Chains A and B, each alone.
Chain A
Amino acid sequence: MLEKAYQTISFDSKKCNGCNKCVEACAIVKSNSSDLVHSRIQILKDDQTGEYKTILCRQCADPQCVKTCPAKALSKNEETGVVEWDSTKCVGCLLCTLACPYAGISFNIKTNEVMKCDLCGGDPECVKACEPRALKFRNEATLYNKYGELEDLYVSGLSACLGCNAELLIRHTLRYLGPETVVATPPGCIGGVGGVGVNGKTGTKVPSFFPLLTNIASMLAGARRYYNRIGRDVTMLALAGDGGTVDVGFQSLSGAAERNEQMIYICIDNEGYMNTGVQRSGSTPYGSWTTTTPVGTVLRGKSSDAKPLPMIMIMHNCQYVATATMAYLDDYYRKLEKAYQASKKGMAYLHIFSPCQTGWRFPPNTLIEVERKAVETNMFPLWEYSHEKRSLRFTYPVDNPLPVYEYLKLVGKYKHLDEAQINHIQETTNNNIELLHKYIREDGVQSDQARTGDRELVSNY
């Protein structure tokens, strides 16, 4: 039984320059010759993307080669995690090469035997030979810490509520975007917790300021135009609530989008004006309790559907529009990267589903589950729209969405809903998904699909 994280070789293709020194090093240590055919690692260039790929045994947790070998020549070492090949038992049937989907074990035409990476007993030569440090030898558990290694550009000690999603969002966002960023934080929770500054000290290591709730996008547009004029490429970032985006700041956002101003505009949608006491906004969904859409004998929460702002932003010809939520962090980072690239050309808009445990009434430790259920019921579908491709793509398609009740029951602001209201919400949800499908162009370039493996994978191998 596998109980711990193993040491592994990681490969960052962005750092690889194709020098092949890793390949040479492996060949030398494994065969005492510089004939590259003996190398257990291969570096190949994908002509379509220009990226380098590494062909190497993945030391799988569930190795198919081990399951297939009829001679028990392959086994998974539970101490080191290495899939070991015993040449004294190998009969040369090559069934392992038929089992491995990655060419991790392959036939060596000079030795007439199979060969595979064995991590050089714990000190891999390829890693040592890699000058640009594309190859690293590290613990598997740290692979997912890549975000943690980036510098947090917000100060510690922000006074956000216990379990605040927005704090999670803003820290990750600024970690990724880095110091060449200007942040516009309108009145709202983020400013309220000290995100811009407090007591005369700044809350960030980058310039950040309070625009008005009504002119976030136009202020950023102006700042960017000035930086452009003096020849500096600085990212403009808006961290705005739904109130400032969907309601009172909409006109300036709409104008900035139409003018294709260069910025990343992130709408942190907690479905209401939370900082000022949980009032409804145009983004508050039907049926929600808020202080301005109370629940009594006549009124049963908000009586109108939310304004579907992400869809509206598609119609604004933005360079890039996407929806995201923290429960799908890898998805968010990918979209943040695209937004960053798009912001060099014009408007990039990200709409983040950001549940507020204080305003919505749910236990803070269920935040991620609330987000997950919102996605799995299709109440908050994850998609992206690129102006270049003129097409929408679901980045996390949900084949069998759960009934909306599975989400609604987790959130206190919906606890008064009756059956008719829940049906209404289900209908609106279904309708929204259908509408989103209309933005998918059949002939749209879906090249990402094959590369990220949307196609169903066979897992029993």
Chain B
Amino acid sequence: MINAETKYLIIGGSHAGLSAAEAIRQYDYDGKISIVNKEDLLPYSPTVLPYIISDKVTIDQVCLRNTDYFKRNNIDYKTNKQVQELDIDKNLLTMKDGEEVKYNKLLIASGASPSAPPIEGLSDVPYHVLRTFDDARKIKEAMSSVQSCIVLGAGLIGLHAAENMVKAGINVTIIEKLEQVLPGYFDNQAAGIIQTVMEESGVRLITRKSVVKVSYTNSKYTLFLDDGSEVQTELLIVATGVKTCLDFCQNSSLETQDGILVNDLMRTNVDNIWAAGDVAQAKDFFGQEKVLNGILPDAVEQGYIAGMSMSEDPAINPYLGGIAMNTYTFFGNRSFTVGLSNPPVNDNQYQIDILYSPASLRFQKFIFYKDKIVGCSAINIEIDPGIIRQIIKRQIELGQTKRKFVSYPQETGRILMSNLWQ
């Protein structure tokens, strides 16, 4: 048993944890910061894994912080540390290898990991997921000896994995239980355009179907769908969703639901414990409930707020709430979405403006609530996602410029932010 003590202990070395460490250092020059990472690697982003599979970048190139950074900033970065148990009363974190770390303040930024859908036989077969570098390495290895692949789930990970397969010349089929790709991010018209591109690029897409059973013999998988049909494949990737990594909190007094519940300063119900990133369940920008928002820019923001709160930085501003957002590039096309993709049902105070041009693969949708933008999604449009995000966040009333905005969103948006940047 090795005992260690630290002032700021951060579980997790991805975006939220690193952002928090940065925020703490900005204000607290000396306080000891320790980051524990379950993997044996320098920090990297799960977002780049599809590009590691396709060999566009290597794991060393995309290292988010190197040892020199940790040394300069006096941060103790420990790898291969999986959390076993959290003792809130003693301020003690016990690792699986037996090490006990005592902390003054704790940030849980342990993220989320792939969840297994309720498919009979799944736990008995070897299948792939894509969340860590190790997962990516294994997929890459497997790809070299297969000609077919099935991906379960048409979320961002599933779609990226499918694109990897197509580019490697592997026949790929996506099976999605809902009626469109990327539900929750795009509406069905936009999703339709994305689907068209996927299919024309060689991805076979099966929607509105679930897999009920899977078996594996002689290196082949057989999947039984809910309509009675069967499909076979040599490579199975499951990307149906993630669940938050909080097993070590289950027996503690930490309040959790889908994730660890936090307030607007990322603080949990325990005074000296914060949570940020994919593991945190925090205020929703648009609604009343607390939600999970597993988005990179959001993890960075939450982590920063948590760090400022932990170090008692007086310049802190509270979290305004999670906004769904993402950029998605696919087969040479580009798209993004910020905010709501559909207005709430039965509320006619929302106005929608849509430009739908499937022949030219273009789509632009604005959702307005009174004079404010509450949602925007676009495919292959000249527009600045970051500016739209600011307009939504700042709840800017567009007034007269609304009409001009939908016609010339890039120009109007740029002038608006140029005026507001002070």
| Among listed B60-68, B80-88, B246-254, interface-contacting one | B60-68
Are the C-beta atoms of A460 and B304 separated by less than 8 Å? yes
Instruction: Please tell me if A429 contacts chain B, counting CB pairs below 8 Å.
Output: no
Q: A71-B51, A93-B327, A455-B396 are in contact. Are A101 and B300 (CB under 8 A)?
A: no
Q: Mark A424-453, 1 if CB is under 8 A from B, else 0.
A: 000000000000000000000000001111
Are the C-beta atoms of A70 and B329 separated by less than 8 Å? no
Instruction: Please tell me if A185 contacts chain B, counting CB pairs below 8 Å.
Output: no
| Among listed A104-112, A240-248, A261-269, A368-376, interface-contacting one | A104-112
Are the C-beta atoms of A91 and B396 separated by less than 8 Å? no
- Determine the chain A residues whose CB is within 8 A of the CB of B413 once the complex forms: 103
Instruction: Please tell me if B241 contacts chain A, counting CB pairs below 8 Å.
Output: no
Are the C-beta atoms of A91 and B394 separated by less than 8 Å? no
Q: A71-B57, A95-B327, A452-B422 are in contact. Are A102 and B320 (CB under 8 A)?
A: no
Q: Mark A256-291, 1 if CB is under 8 A from B, else 0.
A: 000000000000000000000000000000000000
Q: Select which of A58, A107, A109, A460 is within 8 A of B317 by beta carbon.
A: A460
Instruction: Please tell me if A97 contacts chain B, counting CB pairs below 8 Å.
Output: yes
Instruction: Please tell me if B95 contacts chain A, counting CB pairs below 8 Å.
Output: no
How many Å from the CB of B235 to the closest CB on chain A? 23
Are the C-beta atoms of A97 and B386 separated by less than 8 Å? yes
Instruction: Please tell me if A420 contacts chain B, counting CB pairs below 8 Å.
Output: no
Are the C-beta atoms of B415 and A450 separated by less than 8 Å? no
* A residues 74-105 in Cβ contact with B at 8 Å: 88-89, 91-95, 97-103
The docked-state distance in angstroms from the alpha carbon of A70 to that of B133 is 13
How many Å from the CB of B294 to the closest CB on chain A? 14
Are the C-beta atoms of A91 and B387 separated by less than 8 Å? no
How many Å from the CB of B13 to the closest CB on chain A? 14
The docked-state distance in angstroms from the alpha carbon of A158 to that of B43 is 62
Are the C-beta atoms of A101 and B327 separated by less than 8 Å? no
The docked-state distance in angstroms from the alpha carbon of A164 to that of B189 is 68
Are the C-beta atoms of A97 and B57 separated by less than 8 Å? no
| Among listed B205-213, B222-230, B331-339, interface-contacting one | B331-339
Q: A71-B57, A460-B305 are in contact. Are A98 and B419 (CB under 8 A)?
A: no
Instruction: Please tell me if A328 contacts chain B, counting CB pairs below 8 Å.
Output: no
- Determine the chain B residues whose CB is within 8 A of the CB of A453 once the complex forms: 420-422
How many Å from the CB of B172 to the closest CB on chain A? 20
Q: Select which of A72, A100, A455 is within 8 A of B62 by beta carbon.
A: A72
Q: A458-B320, A460-B304 are in contact. Are A102 and B418 (CB under 8 A)?
A: yes
Are the C-beta atoms of B420 and A94 separated by less than 8 Å? no
Are the C-beta atoms of A101 and B51 separated by less than 8 Å? no
- Determine the chain B residues whose CB is within 8 A of the CB of A46 once the complex forms: 415, 418-419
Instruction: Please tell me if B184 contacts chain A, counting CB pairs below 8 Å.
Output: no
The docked-state distance in angstroms from the alpha carbon of A450 to that of B417 is 10
- Determine the chain B residues whose CB is within 8 A of the CB of A458 once the complex forms: 317, 320, 390, 393-394
Q: Select which of B62, B300, B415, B420 is within 8 A of A67 by beta carbon.
A: B300
Instruction: Please tell me if A457 contacts chain B, counting CB pairs below 8 Å.
Output: yes
Instruction: Please tell me if B48 contacts chain A, counting CB pairs below 8 Å.
Output: yes
Are the C-beta atoms of A450 and B317 separated by less than 8 Å? no
Instruction: Please tell me if B267 contacts chain A, counting CB pairs below 8 Å.
Output: no
Instruction: Please tell me if B19 contacts chain A, counting CB pairs below 8 Å.
Output: yes
- Determine the chain B residues whose CB is within 8 A of the CB of A93 once the complex forms: 47-48, 327, 329
Could you tell me how many residues of chain B have their Cβ less than 8 Å away from some Cβ of chain A? 53
Residue of B nearest to A88 (CB): B61
Are the C-beta atoms of A451 and B420 separated by less than 8 Å? yes
The docked-state distance in angstroms from the alpha carbon of A455 to that of B414 is 18
- Determine the chain B residues whose CB is within 8 A of the CB of A45 once the complex forms: 415
Residue of A nearest to B305 (CB): A460
By CB atoms of chain A within 10 A, which of B48, B386, B414 has the most?
Answer: B386
Instruction: Please tell me if B171 contacts chain A, counting CB pairs below 8 Å.
Output: no
Residue of B nearest to A13 (CB): B418
Q: A67-B300, A458-B394 are in contact. Are A89 and B57 (CB under 8 A)?
A: yes
- Determine the chain B residues whose CB is within 8 A of the CB of A226 once the complex forms: none
Q: Select which of B56, B304, B336, B415 is within 8 A of A98 by beta carbon.
A: B336
- Determine the chain A residues whose CB is within 8 A of the CB of B385 once the complex forms: 94, 97-98
The docked-state distance in angstroms from the alpha carbon of A46 to that of B420 is 12
- Determine the chain B residues whose CB is within 8 A of the CB of A67 once the complex forms: 19, 300
- Determine the chain B residues whose CB is within 8 A of the CB of A100 once the complex forms: 384, 386
Q: Select which of B300, B394, B418 is within 8 A of A54 by beta carbon.
A: B418
Instruction: Please tell me if A461 contacts chain B, counting CB pairs below 8 Å.
Output: yes
Are the C-beta atoms of B417 and A91 separated by less than 8 Å? no
By CB atoms of chain B within 10 A, which of A95, A100, A109, A450 has the most?
Answer: A95
- Determine the chain B residues whose CB is within 8 A of the CB of A88 once the complex forms: 61
Instruction: Please tell me if A44 contacts chain B, counting CB pairs below 8 Å.
Output: yes
Q: A95-B296, A460-B317 are in contact. Are A72 and B417 (CB under 8 A)?
A: no
Residue of B nearest to A100 (CB): B386
Are the C-beta atoms of B389 and A55 separated by less than 8 Å? no
Are the C-beta atoms of A103 and B329 separated by less than 8 Å? no
The docked-state distance in angstroms from the alpha carbon of A135 to that of B301 is 33
Residue of A nearest to B315 (CB): A459
Are the C-beta atoms of A55 and B414 separated by less than 8 Å? yes
The docked-state distance in angstroms from the alpha carbon of A457 to that of B326 is 22
Instruction: Please tell me if A421 contacts chain B, counting CB pairs below 8 Å.
Output: no
* A residues 14-52 in Cβ contact with B at 8 Å: 42, 44-46
The docked-state distance in angstroms from the alpha carbon of A408 to that of B386 is 46
- Determine the chain B residues whose CB is within 8 A of the CB of A71 once the complex forms: 45, 47-48, 51, 57, 61-62
Q: Select which of B45, B325, B420 is within 8 A of A450 by beta carbon.
A: B420
Q: A71-B45, A98-B325, A102-B421 are in contact. Are A91 and B56 (CB under 8 A)?
A: yes
Residue of A nearest to B307 (CB): A460
Q: A53-B419, A102-B417, A460-B304 are in contact. Are A97 and B394 (CB under 8 A)?
A: no
Q: A46-B415, A101-B390, A452-B422 are in contact. Are A460 and B62 (CB under 8 A)?
A: no
Instruction: Please tell me if B343 contacts chain A, counting CB pairs below 8 Å.
Output: no
The docked-state distance in angstroms from the alpha carbon of A455 to that of B394 is 8
Residue of A nearest to B302 (CB): A460
How many Å from the CB of A344 to the closest CB on chain B? 26
The docked-state distance in angstroms from the alpha carbon of A107 to that of B327 is 12
Are the C-beta atoms of B418 and A94 separated by less than 8 Å? no
The docked-state distance in angstroms from the alpha carbon of A302 to that of B46 is 70
Q: Select which of B19, B326, B414 is within 8 A of A103 by beta carbon.
A: B414
The docked-state distance in angstroms from the alpha carbon of A161 to that of B19 is 50
List 5 A-B pairs, minimum CB-CB distance, nearest first: A70-B45, A70-B47, A53-B418, A94-B327, A91-B51
26 A-B pairs within 8 Å (CB atoms) are namely A45-B415, A53-B415, A64-B300, A68-B297, A70-B47, A71-B45, A71-B62, A72-B63, A91-B56, A91-B57, A93-B47, A94-B329, A94-B336, A95-B297, A95-B327, A97-B327, A97-B336, A98-B338, A99-B386, A103-B384, A103-B413, A103-B414, A103-B417, A458-B393, A460-B301, A460-B317
Known interface pairs A106-B384, A455-B394; 15 further A-B residue pairs with C-beta atoms within 8 A, sorted by A's residue number: A55-B418, A70-B64, A89-B57, A91-B51, A93-B329, A97-B385, A97-B386, A98-B326, A98-B385, A102-B418, A107-B334, A450-B396, A455-B396, A458-B320, A461-B390
